[in-house]
């Protein structure tokens, strides 16, 4: 995705407008919650930094459009669960509605490739 400064290159957009068009909305203080898809915190930003979590708590990817992506960084010292957006969706090879584990101080980018299939790319 282009940097907001590059979208502004034509000189007709403010930084806020360029970022709205480009995406990259950041929530730098997400609290993980719940232990199921139904009780997990739903992520709404493009970039999400989880700063508070207890073992077993999780977040759910936003149910957006095909091609949408979200970045999740687990900035806590416990593993968190990352759920698909809906109970009939799956991430990578996992069963539908099942979360993957995101280790402490690691990140994942989750991309929606169909209405019921997301792909997660995990950091080391």
**The CA-based dihedral angle spanning residues 36, 88, 118, 48, taken in that order and rounded to the nearest 10 degrees:** -30
Residue 7 is assigned to a structural domain of this protein: no
Q: Is the pLDDT of residue 5 over 90?
A: no
- Interacting residues of 78 by C-beta distance below 8 A, sequence separation 6+: 53, 54, 55, 104
Residue 15 is assigned to a structural domain of this protein: no
Mean pLDDT of the chain: 90
Looking at residue 60, its pLDDT comes to 98
Residue 86 is assigned to a structural domain of this protein: yes
Residue 10 is assigned to a structural domain of this protein: no
Residue 2 is assigned to a structural domain of this protein: no
Domain that holds residue 44: 24-122
Number of domains the chain contains: 1
Looking at residue 3, its pLDDT comes to 53
Residue 103 is assigned to a structural domain of this protein: yes
Q: Is the torsion defined by CA of 22, 85, 67, 103 positive or negative?
A: positive
Q: For residue range 88-118, list pLDDT tens digits in order.
A: 999 999 999 999 999 999 999 999 999 999 9
Looking at residue 24, its pLDDT comes to 75
Residue 13 is assigned to a structural domain of this protein: no
Q: Is the torsion defined by CA of 86, 45, 35, 113 positive or negative?
A: positive
* Confidence category of residue 52, pLDDT binned at 50, 70, 90: very high
Lookup result for tokens 């593993």: 79
- Bridge partner residues of 30 (DSSP): 50
Looking at residue 30, its pLDDT comes to 98
Q: For residue range 19-40, list pLDDT tens digits in order.
A: 666 667 899 999 999 999 999 9
Distance CA 56, CA 36 (A): 9
- Edge-first strand order for the sheet with 80-83 is 41-42, 58-60, 80-83, 100-102
Least-confidence region, from 13-17, 45-49, 66-70, 96-100: 13-17
């Amino acid at each position: 995705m282009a940097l907001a400064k590059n979208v502004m290159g034509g000189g007709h957009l403010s930084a806020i407008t360029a970022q709205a068009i480009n995406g990259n909305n950041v929530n730098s203080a997400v609290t993980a919650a719940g232990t199921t898809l139904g009780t997990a915190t739903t992520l709404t930003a493009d970039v999400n930094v989880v700063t508070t979590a207890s073992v077993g708590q999780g977040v759910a990817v936003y149910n957006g459009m095909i091609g949408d992506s979200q970045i999740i960084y687990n900035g806590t010292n416990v593993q968190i669960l990352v759920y698909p957006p809906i109970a009939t969706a799956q991430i990578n090879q996992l069963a539908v509605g099942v979360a993957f584990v995101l280790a402490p101080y690691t990140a994942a980018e989750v991309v929606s490739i169909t209405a019921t299939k997301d792909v997660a790319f995990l950091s080391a």
